């Protein structure tokens, strides 16, 4: 028999949403490239009228912080099983990742090339190789 506390916790959990296919009209192949282009164009926009310009004007550390906040929100929704909120938070994560790329001068093509390089490589092997590269070629931000 469940305790009263466990029953209340079970009742407060959100229902899992069923999977939903993307609408046929969504251009998944180029949407991130277009988003990047829009964010890049906002670099010189007035921060009073553009959220992207406002984020970029705050500098890389604040952009990275905002990206991290959005990633945590997505994780919270994933753990909670709230699929609808996870979809919305995932869109926020991708947008803020693109802002981070613009801030850092990283072009989407660089990331796509890295993903293509990894395609067909075992995740275990890729991660082991990455540890070797990171150990010698990068530093962590405090």
| pLDDT range class, residue 65, cuts 50, 70, 90 | very high
As a whole number, mean pLDDT of residues 76-92 equals 97
Is 45 within the bounds of a domain?
Answer: yes
Query: For the ranges 9-23, 47-61, 72-86, which has the lowest average pLDDT?
Result: 9-23
Does this model's pTM top 0.75? My answer is no
DSSP string, the chain: ---HHHHHHHHHSPPPPPP-PPPTT--TTTHHHHHHHHHHHGGGS-TTT-HHHHHHHT-HHHHHHHHHHHHHHHHHHHHHT-HHHHHHHHHHHHHHHHHHHHHHT--HHHHHHHHHHHTTS-HHHHHHHHHHHHHHH-----
Q: Is the dihedral of CA 103, 105, 106, 107 positive or negative?
A: positive
14 torsion bin: left (phi>0), alpha (psi -120 to 50), beta (else): beta
Is 18 within the bounds of a domain?
Answer: no
Residue 113 has pLDDT above 90, yes or no: yes
As a whole number, mean pLDDT of residues 109-132 equals 82
Domain that holds residue 39: 28-110
Is 73 within the bounds of a domain?
Answer: yes
pLDDT tens figures, 31-45: 999 999 999 999 999
133: burial class by Cβ within 10 Å (0-12, 13-18, 19+)? exposed
Is 44 within the bounds of a domain?
Answer: yes
What are φ and ψ of residue 54, in 5° steps?
A: -65, -45
SS3 readout for 23-42? CCCCCCCCHHHHHHHHHHHH
| pLDDT range class, residue 23, cuts 50, 70, 90 | low
Residue 132 has pLDDT above 60, yes or no: yes
As a whole number, mean pLDDT of residues 95-120 equals 94
Is 131 within the bounds of a domain?
Answer: no
Q: Domain containing 81 — which CATH number?
A: 1.10.287.1080
Residue 48 has pLDDT above 90, yes or no: yes
Domains of the chain: total:
1
* pLDDT given for residue 11 in this prediction: 46
């Amino acid at each position: 028999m469940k305790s009263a506390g466990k029953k209340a916790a079970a009742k407060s959990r959100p229902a899992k949403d069923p999977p939903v296919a993307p609408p046929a009209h969504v251009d998944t192949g180029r949407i991130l490239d277009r988003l990047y282009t829009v964010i890049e164009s906002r670099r010189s926009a007035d921060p009073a009228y553009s959220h992207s310009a406002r984020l970029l004007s705050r500098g890389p550390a604040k952009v990275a912080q905002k990206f991290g906040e959005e990633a945590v929100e997505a994780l919270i929704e994933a753990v909670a099983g709230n699929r609808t909120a996870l979809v919305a938070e995932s869109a926020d994560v991708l947008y803020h990742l693109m802002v981070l790329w613009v801030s850092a001068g990283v072009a989407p093509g660089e990331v796509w090339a890295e993903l293509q390089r990894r395609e067909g490589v075992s995740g275990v092997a890729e991660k082991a190789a990455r540890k070797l590269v990171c150990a010698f070629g990068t530093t962590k931000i405090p």
